[in-house]
Structure 1
C-alpha cells in the first residue's frame, strides 16, 4: 500500500467538488456500504446482490461487475480492459482508470 500515496496526493489536488474527492477516497478504502459489508456486521442481512443475484455484493461488484454498472461504464467509453479485468481491491481498479 506504500505506493498509493501518489494516487491520493493527485486525488486531493483535483479541481473538483469535495464530495467527488471524498467518494473516491471512500471507494479506495472500501468504505461504502454494500450488502456484503453490512452482512459482516449484521448477520441477518443477505450479502447477495439484490438486483442480479450475485453471491456477494462486494464493492467491486457494485461499481464495475454488476450488469447495470457495467452498462454505464461501457456507455461512458471506459476501456474494455478495465471493465473485464479482475481486480483484488477497488484501489487497484481506481489506479488503472485513465
Structure 2
C-alpha cells in the first residue's frame, strides 16, 4: 500500500542487457530518464550562466542535443555505426538495435558499442566543463571500440557461425 506503482518502461531491456559494461548501463539509464545534469537543466535552476552545449556551443545542451543532435556526438555515433555496418537513424539508436531481428549476441555487441559511445560522450562533456579541452571524435571512437572489444571477448564462447562471421567483418573487434 505504501509503494507507488509505476507504469513499466519500454527501455528496461535495452539499458540493462548483460553485455554492456555496468558504468555504461548506469549512464544510459540516466539518459533514458533524462536525469543527467545537462546545462539546460542547470541553467533553469540558476546554477549555470548559460545553457550552451559544452561540446559544440551552438545550441542548448539538452539530453536530446547532447546524445543525438550535437555535431561532435553525431560524428562519434556515425563512425561507430560505419564500423559496425549499421545505418544510424536520426533518433534513438539503442531502440533501433533492440527492435532488429538480429541474434541476441549481435544486438548485445551493438548495444555495448553504442552505450560505450554515450558514456565517452558524457565523459568528454565533463572534461570540456572541467578542463576546457576536448579529445578528437576519432579518439573517443577508438576508446569505445577498445572497451567494447574487451567486454565482448568474454561472451565469444556462445557464438554460432553467422555471429562469428559478422564479428570478423566489423571493425569494432579489430
- TM-score above 0.5, yes or no: yes
| Structure with bigger gyration radius | 2
How many residue pairs get aligned? The number is 88
8 Å CA contact 1:11, 1:21 repeated in 2: yes
- Deviation (angstroms), 1:13: 4.3
Q: 1:40 aligns with which of 33, 37, 44?
A: 44
Greater helix fraction, Structure 1 or Structure 2 = 2
- Deviation (angstroms), 1:14: 1.8
Give the gaps of 5 or more residues in structure 1.
86-92
Residue 71 in 1 paired to residue 75 in 2?
yes
Change (3 A) 1:71 1:45: same
Change (3 A) 1:15 1:65: same
Structure with more contact order per residue of length (Cα contacts < 8 Å, sep ≥ 6): 2
Query: Where does residue 61 of structure 2 map in the other structure?
Result: 57
- Deviation (angstroms), 1:47: 0.9
Q: CA RMSD in A?
A: 2.6
Q: Tell me the TM-score normalised to structure 2 length.
A: 0.42
Give the gaps of 5 or more residues in structure 2.
1-5, 98-174
Query: Where does residue 20 of structure 2 map in the other structure?
Result: 16
